[in-house]
Amino acid sequence: MTWTVMCTYSRQLASRYPTCCVSFSSYNSTIVPCGCGPHKSTGSRGGKSHGDGCIAGDPKKDGAQLLQCTNHMCPIRVHWHVKLNYKDYWRAEIAVTNFNYRMNYTQWTLVAQHSNLNNVSEVFSFQYKPFFPYGNINDTGMFYGLKLYNDQLMEPGPFGNVQSEVLMRKDDTTFTFSQGRAFPRKIYFNGNECKMPPPESYPYLLNSTPPRSSIVTAASTCLMLLLLLPAS
């Protein structure tokens, strides 16, 4: 007897409820949100949670040890913000927020894949260690907390966060902000791959090409203004 076996990988089956997600923003755009999946709110009876899932009230006040109900429904949210754009450098801000009331993350790690991590000039509030997974190609780095400062994500919720800024030098030959390259390709928190926003939702920056619809709208506006001008 013979068999034919076909193996497929499904991200949904492998990680039905991701443990972290990534949101994006830039200095000239709104926040691109993230999400982890269809977690279900448990509701509450008299300020007490019941069942598994998340709690919509104040878990710290109610004494519950559950995931806080949020729009993204993720235990960990990583936010990457393109903050400033200089002539020879640019600055990104990284914030990690803990929404898991069961966990105090001790000695957390965050690994990012970004093409410009080979030109990191300074990391302000995190420790940083570059990786070289492909020989001399350095596009991966690990961030982790400073002892006695942000080594632990102590308090869950909106105030349970750590953040830092990364200053990177622009490479004249390969650096560009276009096609979402100001944002990382992948983010891992404590070894778990975070869910990224879809590529078409990435913010575009001022020195990158705006969407085609914006170009058409601008051209139509200019043509209308020309038609309204009085003839000389």
List % helix, strand, coil for the chain (3-state, nearest 5): 15, 35, 50
pLDDT in tens, 12-21: 555 566 889 9
Question: Which pLDDT value is given to residue 222?
Answer: 46
Record the pTM.
0.74
Q: What is the pLDDT of residue 62?
A: 55
Strands (E), 3-72: 20-26, 44-45, 48-49, 54-55, 67-68
13-36+72-227 CATH: 2.60.40.290
Q: What is the pLDDT of residues 169-209, one digit of tens each?
A: 987 766 777 777 889 999 999 999 999 998 888 887 755 44
Q: Using CA atoms of 167, 171, 172, 178 in order, give the dihedral in degrees to the nearest 10.
A: -80
Cα separation, 123 vs 125, whole angstroms: 6
pLDDT at 91 over 70: yes
Pair of tokens at residue 125: 């509030």
Q: What is the spatial distance between Cα 139 and Cα 158, in angstroms, rounded to a whole number?
A: 30
Which comes out higher in pLDDT, residue 106 or 210?
A: 106
227 pLDDT tier (thresholds 50, 70, 90): very low
What are the domain boundaries of the chain? 13-36+72-227
DSSP H helices in the chain: 11-14, 59-62, 212-228
